[in-house]
């Protein structure tokens, strides 16, 4: 603001009569004082606040959206101060990357930025969630309370009930700008308007492409290019899989800042690492952090002072000087949130499960998970083959699925039995000679659907669901599947990639009339993320198996164990491990994971993936314990128990006199 040239012009309010200034009669009417006070307030510039200062002064947390309602305090999460201040207009940084653990306050910091922009530096803003539905939920649960609880924001964004308020579920208008909220799955939402500010939340959950129009991050950032150096882009996410994680890729291209905190004993500055958290075995409550400088233990109650004395330090050189990157694990979580003891308990509970350890690394350590897609040695699998009666379903198998791979001159089918924890047994391998143009081949496949396999407990099982690949001669596959009925047969299409929200999606109705209308009673197609099931299969093959001595003492195979019968030959085993996961570079230099063949034939692996997809479609991944118990009761396959005298009580075989319709599995036609 410039200084007024007239000494008679009021600055911040009406001049008192004692000053002798002549107001020229400006106060000779009702309301003159209020007008002059408003005029004076308008002449004063807004305070030059950073985002963190604005949050401490104006942000109120609602009980609807926060576990700690009341005034926001940056001192509670000191590591967020610099990240928020990088988003202030006075900072030259244009892109801020934050790879972090879950629940460290990142989303609230992003909401502080939204509030700051509405109040202090208005402009068009785009906030992107993984899906449109999540954007709507975030608007209700986060953005609406943000506005409602802060008077400075409430007076700038009109209530949604006002006529022409510009306040809808996914759009908030305010003086000088607008907040657009959308999902990364909506190309229309991403290209709807230019945006000076872009908030990209949980980017690792974004789809590979937005409505087949390209990478959502690239589409969103293109909205800000016209704002040149004035733009601000915030990318936040918990990471996922190494080589596929967007946030890791962005972090590694940045200056890779870590939050260094001082040791309370020796003052040595260090960033916290999980391998320096120590505890007595079986006693998570003894967890302490050991300083890498003096090796003395640090109790968790000392963390508050450590966080207050912490600072961000760059550990690399950024490819783009306008981009800064930050990484933070849950070890920094403030007192009262996630404690070191709970972190240790989570780690101990995760042992023995790759999926649980993966979740721990992603959500608690804020690190990517490395998929070890190395093919197991087929000879090792040969040596681990097991002997049970040929053609018999072992006691632990509770239902059957099959995977069919259609080739030019044959149809290969593998039948798998599944038990609790997705433990599996290869029951049969069938090769039907003749390709899809041979009518008898389809007749033989139809006969396989009606075949029974004897169960060790006396029942006979049929294939609960068969998944058949549509990659070769899809019309013939649809025609046969349509004739069999889709209750037992599921046509599938395999797609690559690990970043799909579900390993199986669908079904999609693919039959259409001459006018192009989808037929609800026509063929339906399931989409299968084959990368996910291949990685799972190899992970299951690497599980440690109990020794004969362990099994004699009552040890069981771990969940997911794969049992291969003695009759499988070398060729089948080589096909089963015919691919491995490798990291390749795209033309733009980005890393991605890709399954590559080690040999030409891989039908055994494909059939396993399709049979696994059939188990997923049947619901095995989502069944409650009651459903598994019911199947065990029907087959008499419940685990053995010891009676009071130390004798083994074998479960009874399936009752012979019951009608098939009396049992759930039989009612569904499985046995």
Per-residue pLDDT tens over the stretch 600-609: 889 999 999 9
- Cα-Cα-Cα-Cα dihedral sign, residues 163, 168, 171, 175: positive
- Average the pLDDT over 447-465 and give the result: 91
Task: pLDDT band for 13, please (50, 70, 90 cuts).
Answer: very low
3-class secondary structure for 172-229?
EEECCEEEEEEECCCHHHHCCCCCCEEEEECHHHCCCCCCCCCCHHHHHHHHHHHHHH
Residue 139: closest CA among 64, 206, 88, 36: 64
Please name each of the domains of the chain with its CATH number.
Answer: 51-365 (3.40.50.300), 378-627 (3.30.420.240)
CB within 8 Å of 303: residues ≥ 6 apart: 332, 334, 335
Grouping H, G, I as helix, E, B as strand and the rest as coil, residue 297 is strand
pLDDT over 70, % of the chain: 84
- Average the pLDDT over 249-260 and give the result: 93
| pLDDT in the model for residue 390 | 80
Residue 1 has pLDDT above 70, yes or no: no
| pLDDT in the model for residue 126 | 94
| pLDDT in the model for residue 671 | 62
Grouping H, G, I as helix, E, B as strand and the rest as coil, residue 281 is coil
Residue 8 has pLDDT above 50, yes or no: no
Phi-psi region of 173 (alpha: psi -120 to 50; beta: other; left: phi over 0): beta
| pLDDT in the model for residue 499 | 66
pTM of the model: 0.63
Integer Cα distance of 637 and 625 in angstroms: 14
Task: pLDDT band for 643, please (50, 70, 90 cuts).
Answer: very low
Task: pLDDT band for 634, please (50, 70, 90 cuts).
Answer: confident
State phi, psi for 170 to the nearest 5 degrees.
-115, 15
Residue 360 has pLDDT above 90, yes or no: yes
Q: Are strands 504-509 and 524-529 parallel, antiparallel or unpaired?
A: antiparallel
| pLDDT in the model for residue 28 | 66
State phi, psi for 446 to the nearest 5 degrees.
-65, -40
Integer Cα distance of 349 and 34 in angstroms: 65
Highest mean pLDDT among 39-48, 127-136, 372-381: 127-136
Phi-psi region of 13 (alpha: psi -120 to 50; beta: other; left: phi over 0): left
Which of 85-89, 149-153, 337-341 has the least mean pLDDT? 149-153
Residue 620: closest CA among 460, 456, 509, 465: 465
* Stated length of the chain: 671
Residue 21 has pLDDT above 70, yes or no: no
Supply 650's token pair.
Answer: 């074998």
Residue 373 has pLDDT above 70, yes or no: no
- Average the pLDDT over 181-202 and give the result: 88
- Average the pLDDT over 269-290 and give the result: 93
pLDDT, the chain, mean: 83
Residue 645 has pLDDT above 90, yes or no: no
- Average the pLDDT over 544-550 and give the result: 82
Residue 580 has pLDDT above 50, yes or no: yes
Grouping H, G, I as helix, E, B as strand and the rest as coil, residue 334 is coil
Task: pLDDT band for 372, please (50, 70, 90 cuts).
Answer: low
pLDDT over 90, % of the chain: 46
Burial class (CB in 10 A: 0-12, 13-18, 19+), 665: buried
Task: pLDDT band for 192, please (50, 70, 90 cuts).
Answer: confident
Please check whether residue 189 is in contact with residue 150, taking contact to mean a CB–CB distance below 8 angstroms: no
| C-alpha to C-alpha distances, 350 to 191, 228, 345, 357, 435, nearest whole angstrom | 42, 46, 9, 5, 46
Please check whether residue 195 is in contact with residue 224, taking contact to mean a CB–CB distance below 8 angstroms: yes
- Average the pLDDT over 355-375 and give the result: 83
Which of 131-140, 165-174, 429-438 has the least mean pLDDT? 165-174
Residue 187 has pLDDT above 70, yes or no: yes
Integer Cα distance of 500 and 498 in angstroms: 6
Residue 498 has pLDDT above 90, yes or no: no
| pLDDT in the model for residue 47 | 64
| pLDDT in the model for residue 619 | 92
């Amino acid at each position: 603001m410039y200084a007024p040239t007239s000494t008679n012009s009021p600055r911040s309010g009406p001049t008192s009569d004692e000053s002798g200034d002549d107001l020229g009669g400006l106060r000779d009417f009702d309301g003159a004082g209020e007008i002059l006070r408003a005029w004076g307030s308008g002449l004063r510039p807004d305070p030059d606040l950073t985002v963190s200062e604005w949050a401490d002064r104006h942000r109120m947390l609602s009980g609807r959206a926060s576990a700690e309602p009341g005034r926001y305090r940056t001192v509670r999460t000191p590591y967020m101060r610099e990240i928020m201040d990088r988003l202030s207009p006075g900072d030259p940084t244009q892109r801020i990357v934050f790879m972090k653990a879950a629940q460290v306050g990142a989303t609230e910091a992003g909401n502080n930025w939204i509030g700051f922009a509405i109040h202090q530096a208005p402009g068009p803003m785009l906030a992107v969630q993984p899906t449109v539905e999540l954007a709507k939920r975030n608007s209700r649960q986060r953005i609406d309370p943000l506005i409602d609880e802060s008077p400075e924001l409430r007076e700038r964004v009109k209530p949604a009930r006002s006529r022409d308020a510009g306040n809808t579920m996914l759009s908030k208008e305010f003086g000088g700008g607008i907040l657009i909220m959308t999902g990364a799955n909506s190309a229309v939402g991403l290209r709807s308007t230019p945006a000076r500010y872009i908030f990209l939340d949980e980017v690792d959950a974004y789809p590979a492409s937005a409505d087949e129009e390209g990478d959502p991050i690239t589409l969103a950032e293109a909205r800000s290019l016209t704002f040149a150096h004035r733009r601000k882009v915030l990318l936040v996410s918990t990471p996922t899989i190494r080589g596929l994680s967007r946030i890791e890729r962005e972090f590694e291209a940045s200056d890779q800042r870590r939050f260094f905190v001082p040791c309370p004993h020796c003052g040595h500055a260090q960033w916290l690492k999980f391998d320096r958290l120590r505890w007595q075995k079986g006693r998570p409550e003894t967890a302490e952090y050991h300083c890498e400088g003096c090796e003395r233990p640090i109790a968790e109650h000392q963390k508050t002072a450590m966080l207050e004395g912490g600072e961000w330090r760059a550990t690399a050189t950024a490819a783009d000087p306008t981009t800064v990157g930050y990484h933070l694990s849950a070890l920094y979580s403030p007192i009262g949130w996630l404690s070191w003891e709970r972190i240790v308990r989570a780690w101990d509970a995760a042992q023995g499960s790759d999926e649980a350890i993966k979740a721990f690394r992603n959500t608690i350590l804020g690190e990517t998970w490395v998929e070890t897609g190395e093919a197991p040695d087929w000879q090792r699998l040969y040596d681990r083959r097991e002997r049970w009666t040929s053609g018999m379903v072992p006691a632990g198998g509770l239902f059957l699925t099959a995977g069919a791979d259609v080739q030019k001159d044959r149809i290969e089918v593998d039948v798998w039995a599944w038990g609790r924890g997705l433990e599996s047994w290869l029951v049969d391998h069938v090769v039907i000679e003749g390709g899809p143009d041979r009518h008898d081949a389809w007749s033989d496949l139809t006969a396989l659907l009606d075949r029974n396999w004897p169960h060790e407990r006396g029942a006979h099982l049929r294939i609960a669901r068969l998944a058949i690949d549509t990659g070769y001669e899809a019309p013939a596959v649809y025609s046969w599947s349509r004739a069999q009925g889709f209750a037992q047969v599921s046509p599938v299409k395999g797609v690559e990639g690990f970043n799909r929200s579900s390993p199986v999606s669908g079904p999609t109705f693919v039959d259409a009339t001459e006018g192009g209308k989808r037929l609800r009673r026509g063929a339906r197609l399931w989409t299968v993320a084959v990368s996910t099931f291949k990685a799972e299969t190899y992970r299951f093959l690497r599980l440690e198996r109990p020794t004969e001595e362990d099994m004699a003492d009552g040890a069981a195979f771990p969940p997911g164990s794969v049992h291969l019968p003695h009759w499988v030959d070398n060729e089948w085993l080589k096909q089963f491990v015919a691919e491995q996961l490798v990291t390749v570079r795209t033309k733009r230099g980005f890393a991605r994971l890709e399954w590559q063949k080690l040999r030409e034939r891989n039908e055994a692996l494909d059939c396993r993936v399709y049979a696994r997809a059939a188990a997923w479609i049947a619901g095995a991944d989502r069944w409650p314990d009651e459903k598994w118990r019911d199947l065990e009761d029907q087959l008499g396959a419940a685990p053995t128990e010891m009676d009071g005298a130390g004798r083994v009580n074998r479960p009874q075989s399936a009752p012979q006199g019951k009608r098939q319709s009396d049992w759930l599995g039989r009612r569904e036609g499985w046995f």
